[in-house]
Amino acid sequence: MKEKMNGEHSLIVGGTKGIGRSVVDLLASQHHLVSVISRRSPSEPTVQADNVYYWTADITDIKSTLGVLGEIIKKNGKLNHLVFCQRFRGQEDNWTGEIETTLTATKRIVEYFVDRFDSNNASIVFVGSISGSLAVKYAPLAYHVAKGGLNQLAKYYAVTLGPKNIRVNCVVPGTILKENSKDFFLKNEELHTFYKKIIPLGRMGTANEVADVISFLCSSKSSFVTGQNIVIDGGVSVQWQEELATRLAAKGFKSND
């Protein structure tokens, strides 16, 4: 069995791409024992380290999921931290697929581990979306409802699992630079400049910065933080929309949308 380096075991659901990949990299570098579940094996390991294990499973399949969760506990022991980064990859507004992937599978996995946490430092983190609280034209209805549900799951589980000393929070990233989207934004100078203008901090955030917040929530430094939806968008969502639109119009910004 691999050494539990700092004694903490973290499971990342959906840890081979985007924010999930950054979380795996960061926690592994902090000497967590990291278990990763993904629908497909990574084309290359997220990180070359002897403290990271990968499992493949369709988390919407109950039998497959429970089998893999049992293997993880048998191999790596009780959990300290559970992070949900999975996304439904369907192309249409597939209500059933989105709800099953984002909410039902999450509920099933959380409830499996309720009595399999090391309660000395236990935390659950959901990765949500701005679409969970604001309407976004390009995102389908099912996506909005599922992400809104994560916000409520964080609150509900924070209250019901608090007596077990399990903290539960949700991080809510805005539009950020990920490995699979970074080139698109950096090469599209006009769009990249637009984002820098509307974000109070004057730049786009990165997947690594989201991972930093998740790492904080998976540490004893956040020992009294639970039930929170933490927005990570450089301040763009706290602006008054009408004022922002007026300011952009005054600068000559035009859009056909």
State the pLDDT confidence band at 18, using cuts at 50, 70 and 90.
very high
- Note whether residue 191 is domain-resident: no
Span 66-113, pLDDT tens digits? 999 999 999 999 999 999 999 998 766 789 999 999 999 999 999 999
- Note whether residue 192 is domain-resident: no
- Note whether residue 70 is domain-resident: yes
Longest dimension (CA), the chain: 62
- Note whether residue 246 is domain-resident: no
- Note whether residue 135 is domain-resident: yes
**Six-digit token string for 104:** 């039902």
The region, left, alpha or beta by phi > 0 then psi within -120 to 50, assigned to residue 202 is left
Q: Average pLDDT, whole number, for the chain?
A: 90
Could you tell me the CA-to-CA distances from 134 to 91, 147, 177, 209, 247 in Å, in that order?
A: 21, 10, 20, 22, 21
Residues near 44 by Cβ (< 8 Å), separated by ≥ 6?
none
Three-class secondary structure of residue 165 per DSSP = coil
- Active-site hit among 54, 143, 156, 195: 143
Number of domains comprising the chain? 1
**Six-digit token string for 11:** 């499971």
What CATH number has the domain bearing residue 155? 3.40.50.720
Least confident interval from 71-75, 116-120, 141-145, 221-225 = 116-120
Containing structural domain, residue 120: 9-177+209-236
* Cα dihedral 244→246→248→253 (10° resolution): 140
Span 37-77, pLDDT tens digits? 998 876 665 555 789 999 999 999 999 999 999 999 999 99
Three-class secondary structure of residue 215 per DSSP = helix
**What's the pLDDT at 250?**
84
Q: Could you confirm whether 157 is annotated as catalytic?
A: no
pLDDT greater at residue 44 or residue 178: 178
- Tell whether the model's pLDDT for residue 251 goes beyond 90: no
- Note whether residue 78 is domain-resident: yes
Least confident interval from 90-94, 112-116, 124-128 = 90-94
- Note whether residue 165 is domain-resident: yes
Could you give the CA distance from residue 34 to residue 3 in angstroms, rounded to a whole number? 11
Specify the residue for token string 């499992």. Answer: 55
- Note whether residue 42 is domain-resident: yes
**Would the pTM count as exceeding 0.85?**
yes
